[in-house]
Structure 1
Amino acid sequence: MNEKKGRPTRKRKEAEKERIIPRLAPAADKVQKKILKEEARRSRVAQRSAFMRGDESALPPRDRGPVRRFVRNYIDSRRSIGEFFLPIVMVLLFLGLSPNLQVRLGATIVLYAVALYSVIEGVLIGKRIKAEVKRRFPGEPTKGLAMYGWVRSTQIRRLRAPLPQVKRGEKDF
């Protein structure tokens, strides 16, 4: 026993027992776990469908707001080479495996040309988006909108999330 404390030092077993955090909820049985799992799945499905519809409350902060909605609609209303970029690259990479040197060289040149065209198109889209946002939403910051629009324009239309809300060629959005 220690004179300063007035009590003996506790054993390791006692100290470890005190550190154990009690469970917040009792262990659920199989039926309860199955019910909870099904409710969680339904909740995820509802959240995902709201996100894909473009419901503002279900969108992550990166996609929220009228300016971001405008950028999505602006990109979705037009056709660009960017949305064909991935399929073109896949074909060109496959052609790059060809034993024929001319085919490989041609595929490489076309690959660089498509990539360069996509980047140039992204810069032009970014400038148009920023100008249009300044015109329609005065005072709103335009930082990051060009990249947001370019990244969306390089995605295959059917795979974009949230799904496109406007048809191609539509001007009023």
Structure 2
Amino acid sequence: MLSCACTLVSVNQSQDNTEHLPKGYTPKKGRPTPKRKEAEQHTGGFEARFAPQQSWSESRKERKALKASMSSEEWKEYKAKQKEQRKQRQREAQAGMDRGEEQYLLDRDRGPEKRFLRDFVDSRRYASNFVMPVALLLLVVLFVGQWAPTFASIASMAAMLMMLAFLVEGIVLGRSASKATREKFPDTNLRGSSMGFYAYSRATQPRRWRTPKPRVELGQKVV
């Protein structure tokens, strides 16, 4: 009976104290609030998993300390080894990008829709494949035009007509590529203009210069 009475009294006291507290009162946690940097570095947090664990100054100090602990020959060998490792990683990344592996691709090239658009473009021939050569030729014509204005005028007109043909082909290609992609991926959230521009920008590159490399042959049916 005595314990029950004590419990009842403590409950009543806590209720009375609660009634006198302000409306927005928050009870103390019993420990200090961690700083933002400490919270971000907590295991499992975004910063702990993806952000570098050292700042630039800390990394620089560590590098200077490492250099001081080595001889000149050892430091040169260490730097050469680090350089070779970076080159190897770059070669692996480029090879993976050429193969079209998702983890190596840029954001603009990722996704099944973009893969289909690349195959759609790579399976066909386009006059737009010659956009770069024609642009270079136009620059040469403008340069030569200082000494041969008649020739430059004719060549310039021909180049402008080709550019107009490239523009018309780009519009047709963009629409057809977007339509084919929407038929294959009806739930896609990509805009038609985005898909059309992606397809045309790939068509303007010479086939051997494209990245990722073409997976399909010319004339092959893409499904």
TM above 0.5, one fold? yes
TM-score when normalising by structure 2: 0.64
Partner residue of 2:128 out of 79, 82, 98: 82
Quote the offset at 1:44 in angstroms: 0.9
Distance 1:134 1:49 in 2: 30
Partner of 2:48: none
Quote the offset at 1:30 in angstroms: 2.1
Partner residue of 2:169 out of 121, 145, 148: 121
Unaligned runs of 5+ in 2: 1-56, 68-74
Quote the offset at 1:71 in angstroms: 0.6
Distance 1:30 1:95 in 2: 50
Rg (Cα) greater in structure: 2
The secondary structure found in structure 1 opposite 2:66 is: coil
Distance 2:99 2:209 in 1: 13
Partner of 1:9: none
Q: Which amino acid aligns with 1:153?
A: A
Partner residue of 1:137 out of 160, 185, 191: 185
1:1-173, aligned counterparts within 5 Å?
Answer: 23-25=61-63, 26-28=65-67, 29-96=75-142, 97-98=144-145, 99-143=147-191, 144-173=194-223
Quote the offset at 1:137 in angstroms: 0.2
Query: What percentage of residue pairs aligned between the two structures are identical?
Result: 28
Q: Retained in 1: the 8 A contact 2:123–2:219?
A: yes
Quote the offset at 1:88 in angstroms: 2.4
Higher RCO (CA 8 Å, separation ≥ 6 residues): 1
Deviations 1:42-96 (A, max 9, x none): 1111111111111121101110111000111111111111111211232343234
Q: Which amino acid aligns with 2:209?
A: L
The secondary structure found in structure 2 opposite 1:27 is: helix
The secondary structure found in structure 1 opposite 2:139 is: helix
Distance 1:142 1:114 in 2: 30
Q: Which amino acid aligns with 2:78?
A: Q
Give the number of equivalent residue pairs. 153
The secondary structure found in structure 2 opposite 1:39 is: helix
TM-score when normalising by structure 1: 0.81
The secondary structure found in structure 2 opposite 1:150 is: helix
Q: Retained in 1: the 8 A contact 2:123–2:222?
A: no
Distance 2:66 2:140 in 1: 53
Distance 1:141 1:114 in 2: 34
Distance 2:135 2:82 in 1: 44
